[in-house]
């Protein structure tokens, strides 16, 4: 099956990208995960914590 981002004929898997369904190869889905993780708001656990002890 072809990746819906890069068009290569590789194994793909389902990804939810900003509420849209895509079938991406491992490379494209990894790139998307990196972008999504970089844009994620800080977790509730990290809010209010100080790095200095």
pLDDT score of 36: 74
Q: What is the pLDDT along the chain (53 residues), one digit of tens a residue?
A: 899 999 999 999 898 877 889 999 999 988 887 777 777 676 655 555 555 54
CB atoms within 10 A of CB 8: 11
Q: How far apart are CA 26 and CA 12, in angstroms?
A: 7
19-32-7 Cα angle (round to 5) = 95
Considering the entire predicted model, what is its pTM?
0.61
DSSP states along the chain: -B-TTT--BS-EEEEEETTEEEEEEHHHHHHHHHHHHHHSPPPTTTTT--S--
């Amino acid at each position: 099956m072809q990746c819906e981002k890069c068009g290569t004929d590789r194994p793909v898997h389902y990804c939810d990208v900003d509420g849209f369904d895509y079938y991406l190869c491992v490379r494209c889905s990894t790139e998307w995960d990196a972008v999504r993780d970089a844009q994620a708001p800080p977790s509730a656990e990290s809010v209010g914590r100080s790095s200095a002890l």
